[in-house]
Amino acid sequence: MQNEITSLLVQRRGHFQMESGYHSEMWFELEALFEREEELRPFVSELAKRLASHGVDAVCGPMAGGAKLAKLTAAELGVEYFFTERTEQPGRTGLFPINYALPQELRESVRGKSVAIVDDAISAGSAVRGSYADILACGARPVALGALFVFGDVAAQFAQEKGLALEGIWGMSFGMWKPVDCPLCKLGLAVEQVAAR
C-alpha cells in the first residue's frame, strides 16, 4: 500500500518556506491528488478504518486538501464533516502565523463531539495546529490527527503533547528547520514561499 500511495506524489527539491514558517529542502505538490479519486479511495478507506478505532463523531479538515480528505473520510465513517478556513494575521511573523477557524455557522454544531482532524499531508502541522486550537475553543474534543502523508516527526511530537492519536498512511523523514537554523539560508540559496503543510 505504501508503494502505491507514493506514486501519487509529485516532489520538488529546492529551498522552501512553508506556511508554518519552517524552511525545507523538499516540497510535495498535492493539488492534483483529489483529481485521482478512484486511485485515492483505498487509502481513504484505510485511514477511515484506523480513525474509527478512536471513537470519532466527526471529521474536520483545513481548506482545501484537508477538507476534501475530511469529507471523504467522514462519508466512509458515516459521521459528520466539518472544515476550517485559513485566515492570515497581518503583521504576524515567526512560526505558525496563520489561523484556522470553523465558519461561524458550524461553531455550535461541533460542540461536544469527538473530532478527528485530517489533512492530506502533515509536516510542521500549521493547518492541523490551527484547526485543533479552534475546535477546542468551540467546545469539541479533538481525539486524533490523520493524514495520507506524514513528513518528519513534528506531527508525532504535537500529537503526543496534546494526547492525540496520529494515524498516517505513509511517512518519511523530512529536513525542516527554523529559519535561524536553516543550512540552505546559510548557503545563501534563494527561498520560495509555498502553501500550507
User: How confident is the model at residue 91, as a pLDDT?
Assistant: 78
Look at residue 127 and give its three-state secondary structure. Answer: helix
Give me the pLDDT at residue 4, please: 76
3-state secondary structure 11-74: EEEEEEECCCCCEEEEEEECCCHHHCHHHHHHHHHHHHHHHHCCCCCEEEEECCHHHHHHHHHH
For 35-86, how does the pLDDT look when each residue is reduced to its tens digit (9 = 90+)?
Answer: 888 889 999 999 999 999 999 999 999 997 899 999 999 999 999 999 999 9
Per-residue model confidence as pLDDT tens for the chain (197 residues): 656 787 778 889 999 999 999 999 999 888 778 888 888 999 999 999 999 999 999 999 999 789 999 999 999 999 999 999 998 877 777 888 889 999 999 999 999 999 999 999 999 999 999 999 999 999 999 999 999 999 999 999 999 999 999 999 999 888 899 999 999 999 999 999 886 44
Rounded Cα gap, residues 188 and 126, in angstroms: 26
In the chain, domain spans: 2-193
Architecture of 2-193 per CATH? 3-Layer(aba) Sandwich (3.40)
Please say whether the beta carbons of 79 and 60 come within 8 A: no
* pLDDT recorded at residue 197: 42
> Under a CB-based contact definition with an 8 Å cutoff, are residues 197 and 127 in contact?
yes
The pLDDT of residue 33 is: 85
Which residues, including other chains, have CB under 8 Å from residue 119's CB and lie 6 or more apart? 61, 62, 65, 66, 69, 125, 127, 128, 145, 146, 147, 197
Q: Which residues pair with 99 in a beta bridge?
A: 87
pLDDT in the model for residue 100: 95
C-alpha separations of 193 from 36, 81, 167, 188 in Å: 26, 30, 28, 15
